[in-house]
Structures are given as C-alpha cells and as structure tokens.
Amino acid sequence: MAADNQTYIHGTEPEEQARLSLLNEILNTRCLRELALQGGERILDVGSGLGQFTRAMAETGASAVAIERSPAQLARAVPHPRIDFRQGDANQFPLRDEEWGTFDLVHARFVLEHVHDPLAVVRQMARAARPGGRLVLADDDHDILRLHPEPPGFAPLWIAYMRCFDRLGCDPWIGRRLVTLLHQAGAKPSRTTWIQFGSCAGDRAFPAYAGNMIGVIVGAREETIRQGLITGQAFDLAVAELRSWALLPDAALWYGMSWAEGVV
C-alpha cells in the first residue's frame, strides 16, 4: 500500500503482480507460524495488497479489517466472510471512531519500506490496537542479501538498486529500525526474529526465489539508470550474469525478512 506522496518502486503490471503474489504464497506459511494466532482475534492488516495473507489469518478463525490503497489490488482480492476490505491510505486509516483501540493484532508487511514517514504509520497502528494488543512489523533490510557464488557485476548492481530505492524517499534498510519505530510509537518492543526466504539450487522453490529477486531488480531498471546510478550496459550485463547464476548447481541465495513485535 502506498501513501499519496510516495513512489512505489515495484511495478504494477500483471507480470509484476504475479511475481509479488507468488512471493506472498511462499512467505505466508512461515509468517502465520510466527503469529501463532489462537482464533477469534480481531486483526487490522495494513497494506493488504491482494489479501492473500489476510485470508490466511482469517482462516484461523480471526476476523480482519484489510486496508489497501490500490483499487486494482482490492478488485482482485478474493472476498472472505470474515474480512472487511477497505480502500485507504497508510497515513490515514479508514477506521470509524469506535474502531480505534479495539484490535488484538495490527500487522504491516512490506509497507514501511515504501512510505515517507514510517513512524506516522506505526503510531496509527499503535492507536488502533487495544491495550495489551500486539503490533507486528515485517519488512526488508536489503543490505543483508548474499549470493554465492557471487555473479560478476552483482555488487554494484544491488548497491545501485538500493540507492535508487533510497532516493525515491523509500528506505531499503528499514528492517533494522523496526524495534526503534515500535518504541517511538509508544509500544513496548517484545520480540524479534527473521523470516527466512532464501533458497538454493536443488530446492524446487529456488526458481521462484531467484526469479523474484531478478524481477525486483529488473522492475527498477529505468529509474535506476535515469538517476545515473548505473549505466544501461552495466545493468544489462549484470542481470545476464544473474540469470546465468540462477542456473548453477551450487547457487545459493541468503536473505531474511526482519520481524519485530511490540505490545501497546
């Protein structure tokens, strides 16, 4: 979900949305395990996208309000009897007065890296939670990515991608700041962990992991070159090497999503 004044670095074309959808499917089981829902919780899911993870939470017996800015994403979300899908902005949750301070769990995944004022979003999340309710922030720290054997040209390509992300007003390193954001928003930080979504050759899901990473980079090609962070030739050569790396029998991708919890 994006705020009105921010730039979303990833594409919105069907192919790009299919890639992101697949990524969600890969992550959902692991994230659901970390949430350890008991059933019956009232959840606010901020930046719900296509609603895949919201539905996974609802299937445990929870009920949810799912907030998403994009009408196109909402139109593709599959209805669920325990989910109230609403169009709204990360900077101004579309909640009724009586709904504030009532949610057992307020969750945001891959949202804060894309907003210009993540603390304002987390403060709203804290306000939406009931006393004793949980806040869960899950987001990226792009600097932890490691590939082995490292493809030629990958390091400057990835640095250029991160700098492009940063110059658009986003934060590619926000994962390391999640606990600080919880604290600054008035929540008591209670737990951190990693959600592993790296892989290696031989894992049947590896093509999806590698394809996701390549898709993220290729989707930012035009903007990265426009900003003068890398030449088109260097970009294309590095991506070609990356595609070759993905076919190696010993290719390994190490990455993890930062996960932080707090209590209001």
SS3 string, 194-257, reads: EEECCEECCCCCHHHHHHHHHHHHHHCHHHHHHCCCCCHHHHHHHHHHHHHHCCCCCCEEECEE
Q: What is the mean pLDDT of residues 146-160?
A: 98
Q: What is the mean pLDDT of residues 153-179?
A: 96
Structure tokens at 196: 């592993």
CATH number of 113's domain:
3.40.50.150
- In degrees rounded to 5, what are phi and psi of residue 124? -65, -40
9-13, 155-159, 214-218: range with lowest mean pLDDT: 9-13
For residue 1, tell me if it sits in a domain: no
Report DSSP state, residue 151. P
For residue 241, tell me if it sits in a domain: yes
Question: What is the spatial distance between Cα 164 and Cα 182, in angstroms, rounded to a whole number?
Answer: 26
To the nearest whole percent, how much of the chain has pLDDT over 90?
86
114, 226, 96: which is closest to 160 by C-alpha? Answer: 226
For residue 167, tell me if it sits in a domain: yes
Indicate whether 261 pLDDT > 60: yes
The pLDDT value recorded for residue 27 is 87
For residue 2, tell me if it sits in a domain: no
Q: What pLDDT band is residue 135 in, cutting at 50, 70 and 90?
A: very high
**Structure-model confidence comparison of residues 35 and 23, the more confident one:** 35
What DSSP letter does each residue of 162-174 carry, written as one string?
HHHHHHTT--TTG
* Domain with 181 in it: 14-263
For residue 164, tell me if it sits in a domain: yes
Q: What pLDDT band is residue 4 in, cutting at 50, 70 and 90?
A: very low
Q: How confident is the model over 42-51, as pLDDT tens digits? A: 999 999 999 9
Q: What pLDDT band is residue 205 in, cutting at 50, 70 and 90?
A: confident
For residue 7, tell me if it sits in a domain: no
For residue 35, tell me if it sits in a domain: yes
Q: Using an 8 Å Cβ cutoff, are 238 and 232 in contact? A: no
Mean pLDDT taken over the chain: 92
For residue 4, tell me if it sits in a domain: no
Tell me: cis bond preceding 149? Omega within 30 of 0 counts.
yes
Question: At a CB cut-off of 8 Å and minimum separation 6, what does 193 contact?
Answer: 34, 259
Give the total number of structural domains in the chain: 1
CA–CA–CA angle 171, 172, 174 (5° rounding): 65
The pLDDT value recorded for residue 239 is 98
Indicate whether 3 pLDDT > 60: no
The secondary structure element, H or E, covering residue 18 is helix 14-35
Indicate whether 62 pLDDT > 90: yes
The pLDDT value recorded for residue 5 is 44
Q: How confident is the model over 81-105, as pLDDT tens digits? A: 999 999 999 889 999 999 999 999 9
Indicate whether 140 pLDDT > 70: yes
The pLDDT value recorded for residue 13 is 62
Q: Using an 8 Å Cβ cutoff, are 263 and 188 in contact? A: yes
Q: What pLDDT band is residue 118 in, cutting at 50, 70 and 90?
A: very high
Q: Would you put residue 139 in left (φ > 0), alpha (ψ -120 to 50) or beta?
A: beta
pTM of the shown model: 0.90
